[in-house]
Amino acid sequence: MRIIGVVSNVKHGSLEEEAKPEIYISHFQGAPSGPFMAVRTAGDPAAVTSAVIAAVKTFGGNPPSNVRTMEALRSESVGERRFVMWLTGAFGLAALLLAGVGVCGVISLLVSERTAEVGIRLALGASPRQIWSMLISHAAILGAIGVAIGLGAAAIPARRAMSVDPADALRAG
């Protein structure tokens, strides 16, 4: 066979599978060993499809029935991963919404428990702006405590990630 180019290993099924050695042969050098045909074009792949089918018929072969672009193949191979990422994002947004409702509920409870205090402060001459700032500062303190606890808990997996050997990470990936 005449060598006309070199290609790297190819992943046929998905991006997660191991790449396997690949060769492409001309129809003139022998019958294809598999049902795959790859055509590279500089223009729009859809515009070339009918010409490729006509050329295959000219040589007496069965015309390809499942013609897809590389973009479509790539999209199919990451479709499941894309769906999982979308689902994870949707659950993350739902969790954020629930957390927001929870924070609103806690602040509402704090305000309702301090209604008498707010009334007394207003009767003694406090402005509504001072009352607002007192309640918001209390909520901000609670939020800061929550963030500090969250960051402290996140330091544990972060330290573990910092100790990963790069060579082991590349082999596992």
CB 35 within 8 A of CB 8: no
- pLDDT bin (cut points 50, 70, 90) of residue 40 is confident
Give the tens place of pLDDT for each residue, 89-133: 999 999 999 999 998 898 899 889 989 999 999 999 999 999 999
CB-based contact 69:41 (threshold 8 Å): no
Higher pLDDT, 36 or 79: 79
Segment 131-142 shows an average pLDDT of: 90
* Higher-confidence position of 27 and 128: 128
Count of positions (residues) in the chain: 173
What residues have CB less than 8 Å from 67, skipping those under 6 apart?
49, 52, 53
98-102 contact pairs (CB < 8 A, 24+) = none
Give the residue carrying structure tokens 């409702």.
Answer: 101
Question: Cβ neighbours of residue 20 under 8 Å, at least 6 residues apart?
Answer: 9, 10, 11, 12
Q: What is the pTM of this model?
A: 0.54
Per-residue confidence at 173, pLDDT binned at 50, 70, 90?
low
- pLDDT of amino acid 30: 67
pLDDT band at 34; cut points 50, 70, 90: low
Q: State how far the Cα of 96 lies from the Cα of 2, in Å rounded to an integer.
A: 61
